[in-house]
Structure 1
Amino acid sequence: MRWSNTLIPTIKEVPADAEIPSHQLMLRAGLIRQLMAGAYTYLPLGWKAIQKASQIIREEMDAAGAAELHMPALQPIGLFERTQRKEAFGSVLIQFNVPRGNRLIPMALGPTHEEVVTDLISHCISSYKQLPLTVYQIQTKFRNEERPRFGVLRTSEFLMKDAYSFSSCVEQLDEIYDRMYRAYCRIFARCGLKYLPVEAESGPIGGDASHEFMIPSDNGEDSIVYCEASGYAANMERADTGRTSPEIATSDNAGLLEKKATPEATTIEQVSQFLGCEPSQMIKTLIYLADGEPVAVLIRGDHEANEGKIRRALSASSVELADDKTIQQVTNAPTGFAGPVGIKCKIIADHDIPIIENAITGANEADTHYLNVNVGRDYQLDTTYDLRNAEAGDPCPKSGKPLTIVHGIEVGHVFKLGTKYTEALDANFLDEKEKRHPIIMGCYGIGVNRIVAGLAETRHDENGLIWPLSIAPYEVLVIPLNIKDDEVMQTAERYYNELKAAGVDVLFDDRNARPGVKFKDADLVGIPYRVVIGGKGLQNGEIETKWRTAENAEMIALDAGITPVLEALESRKAEEYQAANVPE
């Protein structure tokens, strides 16, 4: 492609409304332009990078046994009503009525395709002999993002690879899940991303049934709990700590249980200020409904409860904070004064609770708290659980070394769905005994835009983007220093045409611009390898070559033709592949 025939509107200055490096650089390098909040046009360079990422995804999904299809973005609202997700999506679901004849047909722009693909399978699959099956697509999704920001990382319209597996048994699901997991590792490694597979909240199948793939980044919106020593990584919702249940016994230093008036102090912050104590000395008593039954959950005052862990500790299908009426029934007090002493429901506690000597808790009485509350004497526990969010410094559950909290950009998610959608949409199969069962599903998503944005966010320097060869819009940039010099242009044209004929993705900077402008733009757009023709080098029978990240250029003989360029590209591709540690 000739620079003069394409659209690469580079920008010298950093756009004022671009908050993070990826957004700034994708705008400055001419990859994207904003149409409105949450909607971007991908210009030729950006779209080529997207297409290269998509091709890697296709190759690995096909190799993993998935079949590509294409489903409509326009979806009937009735499908979301059958799965009860119309209300769950709320304002995120872009929905509208379309006039057809004398009727209004309610529709939505698809935020995802679980309903559509399950409806398809319900009409196409009827026997266990047709299973397992995995299908995928690369398709535009639409979500009404109320706060679009960070460029293409959070938008209302985005490109996603979504795959869905259909199985007759959990063993089939497990095998497909493992294949998809390995395929994702290969995809992100081949794209040149540094990624972490992160344990996420398990699905209805249970076990380690969900993983998110994260790009570690200071500007990532997700928190990752990470141990470098063991490689353990989990999102905040799922992360375990290496703490164990302590000895549960009354302290030898237990003080006299005492009631203290705390008028209108209902929060940890208000009570700690009123009593002049640290939040870590307080026990926060949260009343939950676990499958409809009230349970008191004890958490240290400066910690945050983790509902996923609470649900698993109780072996409950669902947990939610109790309503005011339930709290009044089990505590005889309004919300804000619950405590374990004399409470009329089951109690479970985090590992840190028995360690607190002479704790401060609610007294199950309005405007009143207890001082000097101690386990064993004032309330009873048989055991404790990991019930709170992990924090930096907690022991890793695998190595025991201190955990750290890092930020990350989510680019993929693999998940064992179970039968939620197949039951709602009547997608069943007959087993070998002619007995009907709901098909078991898995889903596997990749944010294609986020691959490109993630590379821009994590692979750049002060001069611009640094693309890996696998995703770079072009592999080679041919730069003639003086387009008015016939010898320079004839040589440049020859290199350009021969590289194209050899299958190299090459961009020819044929602009009538100063060399300094061309070099600045070359660094900004980040093409990995440049070939410079002209000046003293050409007079000496040489051309200049330079990798984007190299400090110095190299001169190669003109009469060697494109062979040294092809050899350099092949060598770098092999180096990048080896450095990426692509799983087998």
Structure 2
Amino acid sequence: MRLSKSLIPTLKETPAEAQIASHRLMLRAGMIRQMASGIYAWLPTGTRVLSKIAQIVREEQDAAGAQEVLMPTVQSADLWRESGRYDAYGKEMLRIMDRHERELLFGPTNEEMITAIMRDSIKSYRELPQIPYQIQWKFRDEVRPRFGVLRGREFLMKDAYSFDLDRDGAVVSYKKMMLAYMRTFQRIGITAIPMRADTGQIGGDLSHEFHVLAPTGESGVFYDAAFEAGDAMTATDIDAFYEQMTTIYAATDEKHDTAAWDKIPAERKREGRGIEVGQIFYFGIKYSQAMNFAVTGADGQKFFPEMGSYGIGVSRLVGAIIEARHDEAGIIWPDAIAPFKAAILNLRQGDATTDALCEKIYASFGNDALYDDREERAGAKFAEADLMGHPWQIIIGPRGAANGMVELKRRATGERFELPVKDALAKVGA
């Protein structure tokens, strides 16, 4: 993408309404614009980050045996009355009346709808287990939307739902999803720690939250440094992985067990702040029974499938990652989800040799570089590249261009390298 032709409306001043780093930087970097309280339009660079996160989530869900579906955002109130949640859910649910005076709602979650779909589709135990998932927009009418995409009203979410023959099978599905989540976060390039959690309005008796460590996190977290090693990500035995994840100490301040904490060696104790970016639940037959979803077992008798649900806040992750990875100059994207792999900075627009080399390098990236081809001073180009957080900056001026050399800057570390073009492209991975 050429910056001179792009829709990236960067801001020099910090918007007054932005209270935390991710909100400030997403607005300043031209990723989002607020359209109403807690509702944001995602502009091209923001959309690219969302898409890259969603693709990693999708690939790990597929690898875990889940199948992608796409459900409507607007749901019938009758489904929620079947489960008993329509009146219990509270004011966070946006309720709608259509022109025929039918009661609808903008979905905050999809347990009821997916149960109804499965009830109409699955009749025999031979068709289980199943794990459908979707990546879809949700709406919850927060009383005080704040912190940008971290606490907005509309958000992009991956939600999956498992259906199993019995509790043992449901726990296997739960373990598969935990492993898929940890691999997802690892691939994105962040540390996320699973912590035992309350089940809230979803229900059930088993749940874990996943917290990204960030200084501005909403929850205090306490955890064993063993989580930082990442050894469990190489586990091939899912039971061994699950045991490791659930026996290493980790807790939010609400569930902190000081007696258990005191048993951890001092050199392994870690404290900080965390931002919740995902949660998984096992809740048995709560929804299948309430909505009369029964299948025929091997013995010819009907039974209610055991269920779980699994959410990742795709749009929330964008804000959480920025909270965890930024400095005074701007965002520091992990390579895997950066909107562009590199920024190409032309320091002498109009110089024939410089322009020609910039065009050659730009062409080698396909659609994964942002070419700053503006008639703008060098300082402004450096500042905007740092603000937007591209993992690499390829800096090209007349002297270097004449000799086939470029300067390469690594955003995360500030390291600079002067390299021949071929070596620079190999280092960046173009």
Normalised TM-score (structure 1): 0.67
What do residues 64-121 of structure 1 show as CA deviations (whole Å, max 9, x unaligned)? 0000000000101111112121222211110021013xxx111000000001000101
CA contact (8 A) 1:232 1:398 kept: no
Aligned equivalents of 2:414, 2:181: Cα separation in 1: 34
Alignment of 1:273-422 (within 5 A): 395-396=260-261, 399=264, 406-422=272-288
CA contact (8 A) 1:212 1:414 kept: yes
Q: 2:383 aligns with which of 520, 523, 538?
A: 520
Specify the code of the residue in structure 2 equivalent to 1:494.
Answer: K
Partner SS for 1:218: coil
Q: 2:296 aligns with which of 402, 424, 430?
A: 430
Partner of 2:145: 148
CA contact (8 A) 1:205 1:418 kept: yes
Aligned equivalents of 1:137, 1:461: Cα separation in 2: 34
Q: 2:313 aligns with which of 447, 457, 475?
A: 447
Aligned equivalents of 1:53, 1:235: Cα separation in 2: 25
CA contact (8 A) 2:351 2:398 kept: no
Q: Percent identity?
A: 41
Specify the code of the residue in structure 2 equivalent to 1:232.
Answer: Y
CA contact (8 A) 1:200 1:237 kept: no
Partner SS for 1:90: coil
Aligned equivalents of 2:286, 2:254: Cα separation in 1: 21
Report the CA distance shift for 1:419/1:398 in structure 2 as closer, same or farther (over 3 A). farther
Shift of 1:236: 4.3
Partner of 2:235: none
1:531 equivalent in alignment to 2:394: yes
Report the CA distance shift for 1:158/1:457 in structure 2 as closer, same or farther (over 3 A). same
Partner of 2:428: 569
Aligned equivalents of 1:413, 1:485: Cα separation in 2: 54
Report the CA distance shift for 1:79/1:205 in structure 2 as closer, same or farther (over 3 A). closer
Normalised TM-score (structure 2): 0.90
CA contact (8 A) 2:347 2:395 kept: yes
CA contact (8 A) 2:193 2:250 kept: yes
Shift of 1:551: 3.6
Partner of 2:252: 235
Partner of 2:26: 26
> Structure 2 unaligned runs (5+)?
228-247
Aligned equivalents of 2:272, 2:404: Cα separation in 1: 52
Aligned equivalents of 1:534, 1:115: Cα separation in 2: 59
Aligned equivalents of 2:429, 2:377: Cα separation in 1: 31
CA contact (8 A) 1:229 1:399 kept: no
Shift of 1:565: 3.1
Partner of 1:157: 154
Partner of 1:506: 369
Aligned equivalents of 2:339, 2:306: Cα separation in 1: 39
Compare CA radii of gyration and give the structure with the larger one: 1
Partner of 2:236: none
Shift of 1:426: 1.1
Tell me how many residue pairs correspond in the alignment.
407
Aligned equivalents of 1:137, 1:469: Cα separation in 2: 25
Report the CA distance shift for 1:183/1:544 in structure 2 as closer, same or farther (over 3 A). same
Shift of 1:399: 2.8
Specify the code of the residue in structure 2 equivalent to 1:94.
Answer: L
Q: 1:554 aligns with which of 391, 414, 417?
A: 417
Report the CA distance shift for 1:415/1:552 in structure 2 as closer, same or farther (over 3 A). closer
1:469 equivalent in alignment to 2:335: yes
Question: Which moves more between the two structures, 119-128 or 227-236?
Answer: 227-236
CA contact (8 A) 2:204 2:286 kept: no
Report the CA distance shift for 1:400/1:517 in structure 2 as closer, same or farther (over 3 A). closer
Shift of 1:403: 7.4
RMSD: 2.1
CA contact (8 A) 1:152 1:449 kept: yes
CA contact (8 A) 2:140 2:153 kept: yes
Shift of 1:538: 1.9
Aligned equivalents of 2:390, 2:384: Cα separation in 1: 10
What do residues 478-532 of structure 1 show as CA deviations (whole Å, max 9, x unaligned)? 11112211221111111111222xxx71111111111111111000001111112
Specify the code of the residue in structure 2 equivalent to 1:91.
Answer: K
CA contact (8 A) 1:140 1:160 kept: yes
Report the CA distance shift for 1:121/1:5 in structure 2 as closer, same or farther (over 3 A). same
Q: 1:138 aligns with which of 105, 114, 135?
A: 135
Specify the code of the residue in structure 2 equivalent to 1:568.
Answer: K
CA contact (8 A) 2:139 2:155 kept: yes
Aligned equivalents of 1:527, 1:14: Cα separation in 2: 20
> Structure 1 unaligned runs (5+)?
243-394, 572-584
Aligned equivalents of 1:43, 1:164: Cα separation in 2: 30
Specify the code of the residue in structure 2 equivalent to 1:168.
Answer: L
Specify the code of the residue in structure 2 equivalent to 1:478.
Answer: I
What do residues 250-294 of structure 1 show as CA deviations (whole Å, max 9, x unaligned)? xxxxxxxxxxxxxxxxxxxxxxxxxxxxxxxxxxxxxxxxxxxxx
Report the CA distance shift for 1:224/1:424 in structure 2 as closer, same or farther (over 3 A). same
Report the CA distance shift for 1:399/1:543 in structure 2 as closer, same or farther (over 3 A). closer
Partner SS for 1:158: strand
Partner SS for 1:494: helix
Partner of 1:540: 403
Q: 2:111 aligns with which of 110, 114, 134?
A: 114
Partner of 1:172: 169
CA contact (8 A) 1:201 1:238 kept: no
CA contact (8 A) 1:75 1:110 kept: yes
Partner SS for 1:456: helix
1:60 equivalent in alignment to 2:60: yes
1:460 equivalent in alignment to 2:326: yes
Shift of 1:237: 4.7
Report the CA distance shift for 1:227/1:553 in structure 2 as closer, same or farther (over 3 A). closer
1:78 equivalent in alignment to 2:69: no
